[in-house]
Structure 1
Amino acid sequence: MKHLKVKKIMKRIILLILLIMSLSVAGCSAQNGNSTADNLEITFFKIGSADSILLSDGSQTVLIDTGEEEDGEEIIDYLESESIETIDYLVITHFDKDHVGGADTVLNEVDVQNVLVPDYETDSTDYQEFLTAMEDNNLAPTVLTKKLSFSNSSASFTIYPPELSSYESDNDYSLVVSVEHGENRFLFAGDAEAVRLEELMNQLDGEYTLLKVPHHGRYSENSTDFFTKVSPEYAIITSSDKNKEEVVVVSALEKLGTTVYLTREGNVQVISDGETIQVTQ
């Protein structure tokens, strides 16, 4: 009888231990599930045929391009409305006025920690004002000649610089930004034209959830090949009523099943939870 009682007690102890272990594992799984990814919020500004895109997950803010000179204050107003006081990374994809024009305003009115630029120079007024604002704020840009990666609490960023030292078009100097947030992938292709698109098709792996369409929706000879490789579920085109996107670009994307948004119709807001994304305009 004593032997049977001991066996029953031992069995209960073993069951209790297994129960505690299972609860502990479940607790860890739930904790990990909750911390998989904070929401990543992306704003594509309606600022005409120009680029400015804000990415924030609450712990870090990245701004890709700053539109034209007159767009700087609109960007600042939005940052203030969102209580964003610091930009951790400002990426200037290239130095055309519709990408770098508002940079001096942003640099002078917001705390910018890091500035990433491609490896070339120009003599434009907007570029010179950008350099002056950098100097006034005791900043030195990081000139990218090699791929750069960094992460925040929930997303990883990879920036691809152009592979050549010289291009016929300034657009092909564009830095291209790839972002991974949980299962979602985002690609911001600057103003890349045919030569740069060819490079990208060799640099990039896999498909993307969302594409910022290069060069405001203008068609290059290998645009369709590029769209097919990237195969985005969503595409954002930064265009204006004066400088509309090309119909052939929208058609090529829609044939792939891509949902296309145009910033000339309003700001585009994207929220990623690491598994799904919500796009509103």
Structure 2
Amino acid sequence: MIIALVLLAAAPVRGAEDTAPFAFHMLDVGQGASVLVEADGHYMLIDGGGRSSSSYVVSYLQQQGVEKLDYIVVSHYDEDHISGIVGALHVFGCNTILAPDYHADTDIYASYLEAAEASGAEIIYPRQGDTYALGGAVITVVGPASYENNLENDCSVAVRITYGITSYLVCGDAQAQEEADIMDSGVELESDVYVVNHHGSADSSGFYFLSAVRPVYALISCSADNSYGHPAAETMQRLDNEGVSLYRTDRQGTVTAYSDGTGLWFDQEPCDDFSAGDTAGERDNSGAAGQSEDGYLMPEDADGQGGTGQGASENTDAVYVCNLNTKKFHYAYCDSVNKMKESNRKYTDESRESLIAQGYEPCQNCNP
């Protein structure tokens, strides 16, 4: 990473876009996500944003000279990720679709499945560790470790892209459970560019996950004044503590990184705006439990104190952290730990069974 940082620092901030063999475009699709990757004239689309941005995604790909996609990666089946994929499948040919191995009971999923099957593309449900070539780039599937997770977000297909010595990580809407599973598996996560999980939600990009990724640049895809509160204050604090250069579509529109394999540069300067979104939609000002845009309960034991970005790092030997007030226990990396008063924390390496026998309940967010 030290060598990479030196080379990255020496790379130009702008210029050479027309001749760069690799480009990583984070499209401004509002409250959704879509990334176009180009490597040596080959193309991969990761997600396609929601309904309102479908035409924009198609138009953008056409402007970039895309005639056929080597790959489409469907991270998961939420509308704000797959609607634009349906549009793209109606316009562009595609060789291979990488999609998560579960089914969704929604109209947009049915539309996606119909378009995917009609396209003639090979549909693959990838497994962790699978690799694919995109020109000179290597695509490695780093998650999920299992498609049996309770939350669909935690079944997101996550990929790490390497081109030369540069690297890029995109994990869809992965939350705490998938992040933990990926880390436990031991796959390589360290990446120069990190598309922040779940639009900067509080239940993603945990302290330990960020420590494993060690990003130089963080990119957030979200809309201005969205009702979900993305990006969350806790996540922004963790990113700020990590010392990343920050880009975000709600402030800067579409953001593109270019690379020649030895360094990378962007089409604009980072905004480094670590302010949070409007939190009214995700939780009220008291920090009480609320719902995410997917309808899942947020942590129930938040005490409204806010996070420092450090959380359970004060005791890295602990397996679990108990909340003495709510009588719940959590993995040490869980975002709920960041919200506990220090006086309510009990760090322990006791077994799960022992804690339950003592009257503690497992957290519904990190599922210890």
Please, what TM-score do these two structures have when normalized by structure 2?
0.63
Residue of structure 1 equivalent to 2:103: 121
- Work out the CA distance in 2 between the residues paired with 1:272 and 1:254: 25
Partners in 2 of 1:165 and 1:114 — Cα distance?
Answer: 20
Q: Does 1:253 find its partner at 2:246?
A: no
Letter paired with 1:276: G
Q: Which has the larger radius of gyration?
A: 1
| Equivalent in the alignment of 2:202 | 219
- The residue identity in structure 2 corresponding to 1:152 is L
Q: Pick from 192, 203, 212: which aligns with 1:209?
A: 192
| SS of 2:31 mapped into structure 1 | coil
Question: Does structure 2 retain, via aligned residues, the 8 Å contact 1:38–1:57?
Answer: no
SS in 1 for 2:80: helix
Partner letter of residue 217 of structure 1? Answer: G
Q: How does 1:131-210 map to 2 (within 5 A)?
A: 131-203=113-185, 204-205=187-188, 207-210=190-193
Stretch of structure 1 that moved more, 229-238 or 64-73: 64-73
> Which has a greater percent of helix?
1
**What pairs up with 1:35-184 in 2 under 5 angstroms?**
39-184=21-166
For structure 1, which runs of at least 5 residues remain unmatched after alignment? 1-36
Contact 2:194 2:218 in 1 (8 A): yes
What is the one-letter code of the residue matched to 2:194? L
Worse-matched range after superposition: 75-84 or 220-229: 220-229
Q: CA RMSD in A?
A: 1.8
Distance across 2 between alignment mates of 1:153 and 1:137: 22
Count of aligned pairs between the two proteins: 245
Identity %: 27
1:262 aligned to which of 221, 234, 248: 248
- How far residue 121 of structure 1 moved from its aligned partner, in angstroms, is 0.3
In the superposition, relative to structure 1, how do residues 52 and 206 fare at CA in structure 2: closer, same or farther (>3 Å)? closer
Report 1 or 2 for greater relative contact order, CA contacts < 8 Å, sequence distance ≥ 6.
Answer: 1
Q: Which amino acid aligns with 1:242?
A: D
Cα distance change on mapping 1:233 and 1:161 into 2, 3 Å: closer
TM-score relative to the length of structure 1: 0.82
Report how far residue 270 of structure 1 moved. 0.5
Cα displacement (A) at 1:104: 1.5
Q: SS of the counterpart of 1:202?
A: helix
